[in-house]
């Protein structure tokens, strides 16, 4: 029994050491953002930080566990860390459910209808077709995809206080970055108590 306990303790120490080594590979400024997001409910909605592509490749699986959503632009060497508020998440969820119901109603009577589902924030890779670019990885607030397609056809994003130019850039990046596979981008700009909200398609 003593040997079993000693072995168990050794495994725990080994696992703890691996976890510590795993975390230590992540830059301090990214870890600080994680700690701030966890401790401040009213913290910043998004933060952009410099991150070299080689380092991103070595830690991106760990980032998936630390952050619910992030975007990475390898050409600009910038990672955007996002922590949505409850209002943001509730709005995105309700819109996704409403759109899914609408899609089901439209396709219900269509013979051999495609299966189109809300893939939520799953990874969308941009610029894979352009060898002159290093590429970009995005986790949108939601997306609808035909199961037979390699990319979503519709993407939606929910943001705060964005300008018309920034919303236009979001749409262009998804459409051009997927070589037209994404045909529709819906951008919601929620103002809450700061004015009128808007939607761009």
Q: How many residues does the chain have?
A: 201
pLDDT above 70 covers what percent of the chain? 80
List the one residue out of 57, 45, 118 whose CA is nearest residue 87: 45
Tokens describing residue 5: 């306990």
Mean pLDDT on 148-154: 93
**CA–CA gap between residue 73 and residue 136 (Å, rounded):** 4
Domain boundaries, the chain: 2-82, 86-200
Radius of gyration of the chain (CA): 20
Contact call for residues 32 and 43 (beta carbons, < 8 A): no
Token look-up 């306990």 returns: 5
The CATH code of the domain at 86-200 is 3.90.1570
Tokens describing residue 198: 């808007």
- Does position 190 have pLDDT exceeding 50, yes or no? yes
Provide the pairing of β-strand 198-200 with 78-82.
Answer: unpaired
**CA–CA gap between residue 118 and residue 146 (Å, rounded):** 9
pLDDT bin (cut points 50, 70, 90) of residue 49 is: very high
List the one residue out of 29, 124, 131 whose CA is nearest residue 71: 124
pLDDT bin (cut points 50, 70, 90) of residue 155 is: very high
Read off the pLDDT of residues 69-78 as tens digits, 9 standing for 90 and up. 889 999 999 9
Phi-psi region of 154 (alpha: psi -120 to 50; beta: other; left: phi over 0): beta
């Amino acid at each position: 029994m003593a040997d079993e306990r000693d072995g168990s303790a050794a495994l725990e120490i080994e696992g703890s050491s691996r976890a510590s080594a795993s975390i230590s590979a992540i830059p301090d400024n990214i870890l600080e953002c994680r700690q701030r997001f966890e401790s401040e409910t009213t913290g910043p909605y998004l933060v952009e930080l410099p991150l070299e592509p080689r380092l991103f490749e070595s830690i991106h699986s760990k980032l998936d566990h630390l952050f619910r959503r992030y975007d990475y632009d390898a050409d600009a060497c910038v990672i955007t860390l996002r922590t949505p508020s409850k209002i943001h998440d509730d709005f995105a969820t309700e819109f996704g459910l409403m759109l899914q119901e609408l899609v089901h109603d439209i396709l219900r009577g269509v013979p051999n209808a495609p299966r189109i589902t809300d893939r939520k924030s799953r990874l969308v890779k941009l610029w894979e077709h352009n060898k002159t670019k290093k590429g970009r990885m995005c986790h949108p607030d939601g997306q609808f995809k035909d199961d037979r397609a390699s990319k979503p056809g519709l993407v939606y994003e929910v943001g705060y206080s964005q300008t018309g130019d920034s919303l236009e850039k979001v749409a262009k990046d998804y459409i051009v970055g997927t070589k037209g596979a994404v045909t529709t981008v819906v951008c919601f700009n929620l103002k809450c108590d700061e004015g009128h909200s808007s939607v761009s398609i």
